[in-house]
Structure 1
Amino acid sequence: MKNKFIYLAIIAAGFASCEPEFENTVDANYTSGDADFTSYVAVGNSLTAGYMDGTVYRVGQTYSFPNLLAQKFALVGGGEFTQPSYAEDVNNLGGIQGLTGTRLVINASVGGVQPIAGSPTITLTPQAMAYNNMGVPGAKSFHLTFPGYGALNPYFARHATSPSATVLGDAMLKTPTFFTNWIGANDVLAYATSGGAQADGVTPAADHNSTGNMNPATYGGNDITNSGVFASVYSSIVTTLTSNGAKGVVCTIPSVTSIPYFTTVKWNPLPAESTISAAPLYSFLSPLTAGRISPLSTTSGSTNPLLIVDEDLTDISSQLVAPFTTFITGYLMSLPDNQLTLTQAQAQAALMAPVAAQLYGKARQATSNDLVVLRASSVIGVEPNPTDPLANPFDVPGVTMPLANMYVLTANEKNKVANATAAYNAAIVSIANNNDLAVADMNSVMNQLVTGLRIETGQLYTANYFSGSATEGLVLFSLDGVHPNARGYAVIANEILKVINEFYNANLPLHNPSYFPGINIVTSN
């Protein structure tokens, strides 16, 4: 399921009141406090698995936050920590043969982000083994208890102990004495990263908080999980994890509004100079769309908003057919070397007008309340036939063709995401309190990104996405815009370590994030 972008979160705490203790001495008085790290198990999704740059790859997986935690747990008696084997990923390309592409890198020779050259060597050869890291990319809350989930998710299929295994059941085979649980992001993030659209990219996904649907077996891949379903499943997961007396940390779900996947592409990125040819279309539509579409700015140096589809708007396509017939007739007659008679142009316009009217029936210009997803950057303004004078005048995405629902999270869709996130987090905190478990409030930490976060070393990180070598060291996100890079995972691990130290009276050292790699840059590809 492709939300293998399945979500993100990152980052770290505010100012420390004293110098933090990084692991730099051999005689430090480290203790486990009230926790027992003999068998540490992590359950979750792609964030737990160590997913970054759009995939899981061999070296990248070593920077998963559970693996980084286990390194510190080992100082106070923590046992062996195992992760699904990616030994066959000899060239660190990531991906799965025939299913997913390779990891993303910045190609310095062209200055852009692209999949690293080569083909995946990772196969679906069954490993049939339970691991300490049971993070499964793509997993939603209810997937952890779903028998046979490996048939739906190749990442779990690679290591499920049997065809009917559950993720949680395999995790319990490790008899955890301590656990982390960071599940739930995909229950709402799949909706957000798809722009609130189904797999076809057009049909709106369902918000089951609104529909009241309590049966996840009927949900689409991008639907928002009902908060009642989430609370019930989450409670069951925690009950199982603690059944043998294990202690642990649960993590709240961060808001999406600060991550690069939603903030890199602006709502108004169109230079006035590049939209001159579209000006007549906007002037034509402006009086017909009741304020949804306004004339374009022609002032040099100014920018114009994207044209988008908003599925929540009333469809006015029927009102546009007749005006479009007239508009298209005039367009056809004005083309260079036009050889159509007026009658022929009117006949063609009569065929094209219903299609054009349907295209703009739910169209409007974007506002600052809309979030444009990262993948839209590859289609905005890309004219399919730029040298063909007879080309469709309505085929430039975001300019003359409204961006599809899959590329934009509207204000209404953002509200659905926010409501679900708040409900999930309320359930997580309540269930943790009822079970005397520590909570790492990733949502609170994440919200600080907007103004910048200063970690224990004094380094300041912001939500700005990678924009060149000058900012490379400030970036905690990987190139998919959703998941952390190695440095980001180190910051996440530190946040959890601080919670463990406080809640369980432990004394564990932190990682120094500056020692970890950031963005992947190659000189050529």
Structure 2
Amino acid sequence: MKKLKYIALSLLTLGMVACENELVQDIRDRNNTGVDDSSLPELTAGTADFSNYVAVGASFTAGFTDNALFIASQENSFPNIMANMFAKVGGGTFTQPLMNDNFGGLILGGNPVIDPSTGNRLFSERLVFGGAGPVPLQALNPSAMSTTDFALNNPTGPFNNLGIPGAKSFHLVAPGYGNLSNFPAAANPYAIRVTGNAPNASILELAMAQNPTFFSLSEIGGNDVLGYATTGGDGSNPITPTATFDASLNALVGGLTANGAKGVIGNLPNITSLSHFTTVPYNPLDPSNPDFGPLIPTLNSLFGALNGVYAFLESQGAINDAAARSIVFTDTAANAIVIHDENLANISTLITQTLLANPQFPAFLAQFGLPAAAAPQVAGLLGIMYGQSRQATENDLFVLPSSSVIGTVNSDFAAFLESQGLSAALAAQFATEGVTLPLEDKWALLPQEQEEIAIATEAYNASILAVANANGLALVDLNSILEQASSAGIMFDDYNMNTDLVFGGLVSLDGVHLTARGYALMANSFLQAIDATYGSNFEASGNLAKAGDYQTNYSASLQ
């Protein structure tokens, strides 16, 4: 079956880009000629001292966008945007560990870093818009290859921007997190690039060594839940316990304020509102698709037999959720995919036993060209495959990469089925992801998993609020900002920005990190919080970032 595709919007995109360019120029023209700066008050820092500003955080702080870190994205990081405003009122130089190019990604010893479990590049190049959706840069520019080698050509510090993509709260206080000799088990390549001559220093220690007068602390706790969410809550990347988060948070704030520095901290948004989790629908199986529609009768025959098993087991008191497990496809509407739900009781053995006890089962197998002698083997396979399966509902969320998996044949499982005696054609039919083969847990966030993320986020935010209040820090409510953006949208100058993938303007092509314009909005939110807490007047004096000065996409030709 053909895998899902994003809606082709290339012509519309060209039109939108053209209109946006005209609008950007119009805004710049009006800003340059139509604003009487003399009517605005003079910029003041209030009680804050911006002479030595240090930013600590994770990927948002670094400027990560479109699945990568690259020079242009770093220049549009929200701390760099803020530092440009700070420079107008006593702020000093703001240094960043710039990448070597705009391809994005990292290499090690001259070669890409390969994930041994998947064979894919571990630190991939950036995503670009390919006409029908996000695609890797190399798909449009095969010669694009990162030249940023985290073993051979790291820049020297110290750096004011200590945003480390992928860092969890406790990583920022861990010694050796930037030591190359600890890679890959306990070191982060982006941390390796900032440690300089102190490879065992923690990120916090690198920040404290600069004796900052002002700091920002952002996304603390973000990766502590994001890793769990992007892996579908499959257990491979668990949520950080609140006690561990609290200890890290208190250590970070305690260290950064030790010399009397003032600062601003952001809380955590509900990440499941991001387009990484809301773009792929639960019901993408279109009956008009020639690779799916003609199979509906056969599929309903297969699942009809299983539905009968569920009904029988419920009648015997063995289960009480036959309706939730039942799978039915229709040729008149979009169909929900079939998923593995770990929260369902595993009834694999009951399915196998019930099928074998049914005298009609051998006749059922005959329609697939299977002999009666195959009944025990097939009954066992069906039990294994559908012991914890159901169709998805609107309450389930699917990670963005699942769009390239749903509807494809799982070659490994197909090979296994062939080894069990099924023909290649029949094995492929029974190994179609999300149709006959329940989609693995790593592709879906079930309601229970979403609740776990929400509970952790709420606990982290309660701790952040308490720490901010106890230390007199400015607090940015990023949670409310994202909530507004994901519902009605949020106005930024003349633009209404939302979390839709590609065209929402706020979230970049990876569905998680922000666009340059999104980071400008974030910078403004931090500046406004600083105004409210320390008496500065960035907003009143007209010293906030302008939406039209920041783009929402980067060209594939950017090098």
Contact 1:63-1:489 within 8 A present in 2 as well? yes
1:391 corresponds to 2:430: no
1:184 aligned partner: 221
Say which of 173, 194, 201 aligns to 2:231. 194
Pick from 143, 158, 175 the counterpart of residue 147 of structure 1.
175
Deviations 1:52-98 (A, max 9, x none): 11111111111110011101001101000011131x22xx1100112
**Equivalent residue number for residue 230 of structure 1:** 245
CA contact (8 A) 1:309 1:364 kept: yes
The runs of 5 or more residues in structure 2 that have no matched partner are 1-29, 114-122, 139-143, 311-321, 415-422
Residue segments in structure 1 that go unaligned for 5+ positions in a row: 1-20, 200-221, 467-471
Q: Percent identity?
A: 39
Moved more, 429-438 or 378-387: 378-387
Indicate conservation of the 8 Å contact 2:501/2:508, yes or no. no
One-letter code aligned to 1:248: G
Q: Does 1:102 align with 2:99?
A: no
Give the conservation status (yes or no) of the 8 Å contact 1:258–1:449.
no
> Residue 318 of structure 1 is aligned with which of 340, 346, 349?
349
Whether the aligned pair in 2 keeps the contact of 1:107 and 1:523 (CA below 8 Å) is no
Residue 376 of structure 2 corresponds to residue 350 of structure 1: yes
**In the alignment, which residue of structure 1 is the partner of 2:266?**
251
Aligned-pair CA distance for 1:453: 2.8
> Post-superposition shift, 1:334?
2.7
Query: How far did residue 226 of structure 1 move?
Result: 1.1
Choose the corresponding residue for 1:298, options 324, 327, 330. Answer: 330
- Within the alignment, does 1:520 sit opposite 2:533 as a pair? no
CA distance in 2, matches of 1:77, 1:267: 52
CA distance in 2, matches of 1:22, 1:446: 27
Label 1:22 to 1:144 Cα distance change in 2 as closer, same or farther (>3 A): farther
**More helix per residue:** 2
The structure having more radius of gyration, on CA atoms, is 2
Cα drift, residue 329 of structure 1: 4.9
User: Which whole-Å deviations, capped at 9, do the CAs of 1:468-497 have from their partners, x for residues lacking one?
Assistant: xxxx4x421111000001111111111111
1:365-411 per-residue CA deviation (whole Å, 9 max, x = no partner) reads 11111111111000001135899533343211111111111111100
Aligned partners of 2:499 and 2:391: how far apart in 1? 25
Q: What secondary structure, in the 3-state scheme, does the structure 2 residue paired with 1:270 have? A: coil
Q: 2:395 is matched with which residue: 351, 369, 384? A: 369
Q: Distance in 2 between matches of 1:42 and 1:523?
A: 30
1:121 matched to 2:147? The reply is yes
- 1:333 to 2:333 alignment: no
User: Hey, what does 1:380 align to over in structure 2?
Assistant: 406
The structure 2 residue matched to 1:426, chosen from 452, 462, 473, is: 462
* Contact 1:356/1:394, CA 8 A, preserved across alignment: no
Residue type matched to 2:526 in 1? I
- CA distance in structure 2 between the partners assigned to 1:498 and 1:38 by the alignment: 19
**Which residue does 1:218 correspond to in 2?**
none
Contact 1:127–1:160 (Cα < 8 Å) also in 2: no
- Asked if 1:56 corresponds to 2:69, the answer is yes
How far apart are 1:307 and its partner, in Å? 0.9
Distance, in Å, in 2 between the alignment partners of 1:48 and 1:318 is 50
> CA separation of 1:519/1:323 partners in 2, compared to 1, >3 Å: closer, same or farther?
farther
Q: How far off is 1:26 after superposition?
A: 6.8
- 1:9-56 per-position Cα deviation (integer Å, ceiling 9, x unaligned): xxxxxxxxxxxx989777651111111100111111111110111111
Tell me which residue corresponds to 1:41.
Answer: 54
Q: CA RMSD in A?
A: 2.5
Q: 2:522 aligns to what SS in structure 1?
A: helix
Which secondary structure does the structure 2 equivalent of 1:455 belong to?
strand
Q: Measure the CA separation in 2 of the matches of 1:329 and 1:243.
A: 76
The structural deviation recorded for 1:165 is: 1.4
Q: 1:61 to 1:155 in 2, by over 3 A?
A: same
Q: Is the 8 A contact 1:141 1:234 kept in 2?
A: yes
What letter matches 1:367 in structure 2?
T
Give TM-score scaled by structure 2 length: 0.78
TM-score (norm 1): 0.83
Tell me how far 1:328 sits from its aligned partner. 7.8
Deviates more, 1:184-193 or 1:117-126: 117-126
Letter in 1 for 2:285: L
Q: Quick one: which of 527, 536, 544 aligns to 1:506? A: 536
User: 2: CA distance between counterparts of 1:104 and 1:410?
Assistant: 27
Q: Secondary structure at the match of 1:318?
A: helix
How many residue pairs get matched? 464
Q: What is the deviation of 1:439? A: 0.4
1:233 aligns to what SS in structure 2?
A: helix
Instruction: Indicate how the Cα distance of structure 1 residues 357 and 464 shifts in structure 2: closer, same or farther if over 3 A, else same.
Output: same
Helix, strand or coil for the counterpart of 1:296? coil
Distance 1:135 1:522, change over 3 A: closer
Q: 2:448 aligns with which of 403, 412, 416?
A: 412
CA distance in 1, matches of 2:378, 2:302: 15
Report the 3-state secondary structure (helix = DSSP H, G, I; strand = E; otherwise coil) of the residue aligned with 1:397.
Answer: coil
CA separation in 1, counterparts of 2:480 and 2:401? 27
The AA in structure 1 aligned to 2:92 is G
Distance 1:234 1:136 in 2: 16
Judging changes above 3 Å, is the alpha-carbon distance between structure 1 residues 26 and 74 closer, same or farther for their aligned structure 2 residues?
A: farther
- Look up the equivalent residue of 1:55 and give its one-letter code: A
Cα pair 2:299 2:329 within 8 Å, conserved: no
Cα deviation 1:249-307 (Å, max 9, x = unaligned): 1100000232101100111222234351422222122233422333424242x112111
How far apart in 2 are the matches of 1:166 and 1:266? 41
Higher relative contact order (CA 8 A, sep 6+): 1
Q: Is the 8 A contact 2:336 2:391 kept in 1?
A: yes
Contact 1:101/1:119 (8 A) holds in 2: no
Contact 2:495–2:547 (CA under 8 A) maintained in structure 1:
no
The superposition leaves residues 96-131 of structure 1 with CA deviations (integer Å, 9 ceiling, x where unpaired) of: 1122111001123xx332111222211013435231
- For 2:203 and 2:557, how far apart are their aligned partners in 1? 40
Distance in 2 (CA, whole Å) between partners of 1:445 and 1:231 is: 23
